[in-house]
């Protein structure tokens, strides 16, 4: 049973699947080249054909066709790995203007989290959309470019953190990021119960955000636990283009208590 769970977890991790597919691709390339190299000898020894120097041209043509096919397959794998790293969010000027007007009307501030507005958004959402509404509102108030909310679940004896909802995230069909307790930055925050703030993200860590006005990579990452009665029930991560003050980070972490009521 444990082996089946490990296999299921493996296929839920797109990075591991992509790596295995790449390794498998090159293994099959090596096997195919070996067969092509020995094809003429196999045809004579095992196929009963008469040896002829003219068969070399046929084998070369076959090798070229196989090479083109493998090159095409590799291009597809490379393209898929590249496009998976990019998150595309289309925002026109009118939407940006409406959001700015909406923020000024409801008391948004770059220095404060409006807990009342956050509660209103959550309460007005449908039961199965409250977490998404809460994350959206929190990311809007933090001016976040991207956000993700993970909830704690138990699978056998292991604690897991599964993606419950995302803000400005595009995932491939069937892709569902998850982490073991203590695994990666998300798992570490859950296990320690402490926040993490990175003010210099390594290139490639966050997905690129694109709009009609251009594209850029978030430069700051804030990860904090969602606690309920001192027990971590989830983790939120937000990526921003501008830094978050210590006061604002503290308020965001406190806002996690509001989300814990529905997690």
Query: At CA 199, angle to CA 171 and CA 90, rounded to 5?
Result: 35
Q: What is the DSSP letter of 29?
A: H
* Fold that domain 88-260 belongs to in CATH: Beta-Lactamase (3.30.450)
pLDDT-based confidence at residue 201 (cuts at 50, 70, 90)? low
Instruction: Summarize the confidence of residues 83-97 as an average pLDDT.
Output: 41
Q: Does the pLDDT at position 141 exceed 70?
A: yes
d(CA 180, CA 163): 12
pLDDT band at 263, cuts 50/70/90?
Answer: low
What pLDDT does 135 receive?
93
Burial class from Cβ neighbours inside 10 Å (0-12, 13-18, 19+) for residue 100 reads: exposed
Tens of pLDDT, residue by residue over 222-236, are 999 999 888 999 999
Higher pLDDT, 65 or 155: 155
What order of strands is seen across the sheet that includes strand 86-88?
86-88, 208-211, 214-216
Who's near 254: CB < 8 A, 6+ residues apart?
113, 115
- In terms of residues, how long is the chain? 263
Domain ranges of the chain: 2-84, 88-260
Instruction: State the CB neighbour count (10 A cutoff) for residue 66.
Output: 15
**For 36-82, how does the pLDDT look when each residue is reduced to its tens digit (9 = 90+)?**
777 767 666 665 666 556 666 666 767 777 777 777 777 777 666 55
What pLDDT does 89 receive?
39
Q: Give the 3-state DSSP-derived string for 168-209, with helices as H, strands as E and coil as C.
A: CCCCCCCCCCEEECCCHHHHHHHHHCCCEEECCCCCCCCCEE
Q: Say what the pLDDT of residue 176 is.
A: 80
- Cα 37 from chain centroid (whole Å): 41
Cα gap 46→225, rounded to integer Å: 66
Does residue 33 surpass a pLDDT of 80? no
CA end-to-end span of the chain: 29
The C-alpha R_g of the chain, in whole angstroms, comes to 26
Q: What pLDDT does 31 receive? A: 81
pLDDT at 37: 72
Highest mean pLDDT among 62-71, 77-86, 159-168, 210-219: 159-168
Lowest mean pLDDT among 64-68, 213-217, 230-234, 258-262: 213-217
- CA proximity to 135, closest of 161, 163, 157: 163
The pLDDT, as a whole number, for residue 206 is: 56
């Amino acid at each position: 049973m444990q082996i089946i769970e490990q296999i299921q977890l493996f296929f839920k991790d797109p990075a591991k699947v992509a790596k295995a597919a790449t390794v498998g691709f090159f293994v099959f390339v090596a096997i195919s080249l070996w067969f092509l190299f020995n094809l003429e000898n196999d045809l004579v020894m095992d196929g009963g054909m008469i040896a002829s120097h003219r068969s070399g041209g046929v084998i070369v043509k076959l090798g070229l066709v196989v090479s083109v096919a493998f090159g095409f397959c590799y291009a597809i794998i490379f393209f898929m790995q590249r496009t998976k790293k990019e998150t595309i969010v289309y925002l026109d000027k009118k939407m940006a203007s409406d959001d700015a007007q909406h923020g000024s009307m409801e008391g948004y501030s770059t220095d404060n989290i409006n807990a009342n507005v956050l509660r209103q958004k959550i309460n007005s959402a449908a039961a199965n959309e409250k977490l998404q509404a809460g994350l959206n509102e929190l990311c809007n108030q933090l001016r976040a470019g991207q956000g993700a909310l993970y909830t704690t679940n138990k699978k056998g004896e292991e604690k897991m953190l599964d993606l419950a909802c995302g803000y400005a995230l595009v995932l491939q069909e069937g892709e569902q990021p998850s982490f073991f307790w203590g695994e990666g930055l998300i798992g570490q925050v859950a296990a320690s119960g402490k926040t993490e703030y990175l003010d210099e993200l390594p290139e490639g860590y966050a997905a690129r955000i694109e709009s009609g006005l251009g594209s850029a990579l978030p430069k700051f990452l804030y990860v904090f636990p969602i606690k309920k009665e001192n027990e971590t029930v989830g983790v939120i991560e937000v990526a921003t283009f501008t830094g978050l003050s210590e006061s604002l980070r503290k308020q965001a972490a406190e806002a996690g208590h509001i989300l814990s009521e529905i997690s």
